[in-house]
């Protein structure tokens, strides 16, 4: 059964392994300039504190994740139709 749940700090290593692995599978001919350890630090210190993260599990294995970063929107500067 697939489970979607909030991120927990103990997910860090598995999440970064998945992120690192899929990046390198996607860009086979490229070498990322940052080492794996930098990805861990970035996820832990930047992404995990700025975003809402959900983890996807199948049979107790992390198979995916999503990060949603919500930015403040200044509503008085949004364009809108004059009919609304």
6-60: pLDDT as tens digits: 999 999 999 999 999 998 888 988 888 899 999 999 999 999 999 899 999 999 9
Starting at the edge strand that comes first in sequence, how are the strands of the sheet with 61-68 ordered?
2-6, 52-58, 61-68
Domain 2-77, second-level architecture: 3-Layer(aba) Sandwich (3.40)
Residue bearing tokens 């690192």: 20
Domain boundaries defined on the chain: 2-77
Model confidence, pTM:
0.77
pLDDT of residue 82: 57
């Amino acid at each position: 059964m697939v489970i979607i749940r909030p991120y927990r700090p103990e997910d860090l290593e598995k999440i970064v392994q998945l992120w690192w692995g899929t990046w390198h599978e996607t860009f086979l001919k490229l070498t990322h300039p940052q080492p794996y350890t930098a990805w861990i630090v970035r996820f832990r210190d930047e992404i995990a504190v700025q975003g809402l993260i959900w983890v996807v599990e199948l049979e107790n294995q992390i198979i995916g994740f999503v990060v949603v970063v919500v930015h403040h929107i200044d509503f008085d500067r949004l364009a809108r139709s004059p009919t609304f």
